[in-house]
Amino acid sequence: MIMEAYIEHMVKKKSTIKDLALRYFFMFLVVLSVLAALLLMYPPVLVITVGLWAIYRYLIYPLTDIEYEYLYVDRTLTVDKIMAKEKRKTIATYEIDRLEILAPADSYRLGEFKNRELKTVDYSSGTENTEDMRCVMIYEGGLKIVLDLTKEFVKIIQNNSPRKVFLD
């Protein structure tokens, strides 16, 4: 019997040193150009200031403040990318029927997949969480997907595909 289920989970991606350096560098440039615009009262400097602020606000900040939302419904796992808590984009949809295995990243069950050439996609937070478990999903067609899932999330998928989903 196939049960229909619905669950969603949100994961905040940890900002890397590179992300933070880029953000602070652009903030420094914006502040510097504001000071220059105030001191010089020269219109082109004001245009540069507005341009730098726009680049920071609409490009740099959204690309360095990312959250992933996992949504499981009707035997389909959808991953959405949320940038700066404003822009949402569905980046992947996976059918559970095409799943080869879903297990914790440190599970012995993933041993047979270590020597395979797999394209890796990481939708995790980038850190080890105590409340979430780092899981690896091997998907048909040579794709390895890294996710941070709760035990409840994994259990719901396991109820619909018990031979492919493991908690050990």
pLDDT in single tens digits along all 168 residues of the chain: 455 688 999 999 998 999 999 999 999 999 999 898 888 887 888 888 899 999 999 999 999 999 999 999 988 999 999 999 999 999 999 999 999 999 999 999 999 888 889 999 999 998 876 678 999 999 997 899 999 999 999 999 999 888 999 988
Tens of pLDDT, residue by residue over 26-50, are: 999 999 998 988 888 878 888 888 9
What are the residue boundaries of the structural domains of the chain, listed by start?
Answer: 17-64
3-class DSSP state of 131? coil
Q: What is the DSSP letter of 126?
A: S
CB burial string 2-23: b at 16+ within 10 A, e below: eeeeebebebebeeeeebeebb
Q: Give me the pLDDT at residue 87, please.
A: 93
The pTM is what?
Answer: 0.84
Question: What token pair was written down for 109?
Answer: 């069950």
What integer pLDDT is reported at residue 3 of this predicted model?
Answer: 55
What's the chain's average pLDDT?
90
Find the Cα–Cα–Cα–Cα dihedral 57, 60, 64, 68, rounded to 10°. Answer: 70
CA distance 158 to 137: 12
Rounded Cα distance, 35 and 135, in Å: 48
**Contact by Cβ (8 Å): 69, 80:** yes
